[in-house]
Amino acid sequence: MVRKMSTNTIGKEMSEKLYKVEVDCSTGLETRTELTPEEVTEHEIMQQESQDKAAIIEAAAQDKADAKASGIEKLSALGLSDAEIAAITGA
């Protein structure tokens, strides 16, 4: 599968200090600053959003794969050869 994930571990991964590295393109000045509590919260939300989105897409892809496997099984039960099934499904 393209997207692989496990359960959310944000709490564990966020227990450490978080830093932002920023370069101001108008001055070339690069800074490294620790995220404020508000920025940490925002960062956690953004990471969770990303993980939730991935989970939805992953579930949809799995449903599609399951439906395809089921369809192939039924075609096989009807007597179609593997080559004939492949020609129809592209699998």
Partner 1 sequence: MELIQSISLSSSASTILFSSIPNTYSQLYLYASLRNDSTTSSSPALRVALSSTANYDLGYRETGSSSVNEGNYSSKVNWQDMYGGVISEQKPSNSFGAFYMSIHNYAQSVPTTMVAQGTSNASESNPNAGVYGGIIRNTDVQSSINMIVDYGNFKAGCLVALYGA
Instruction: State the residues that interact with partner 1 by CB under 8 A.
Output: 1-6, 9, 13, 18-28, 30, 32, 35, 43, 46-47, 49-51, 53-54, 57, 61, 65
The least CB distance from residue 10 to partner 1, in Å, is: 8
Which residue bears the tokens 């989105």?
53
Smallest distance, partner 1 to C-beta of residue 20, A: 4
Nearer to partner 1, 60 or 81 (CB): 60
3-class SS of residue 32: strand
- CB atoms inside a 10 Å sphere around CB 47: 15
For 82, phi then psi, to 5°, come to: -60, -40
| Angle formed by the axes of helices 37-77 and 82-89, nearest 10° | 130
Smallest distance from partner 1 to CB 80, Å? 23
Give 46 or 86: the residue with its C-beta nearer to partner 1: 46
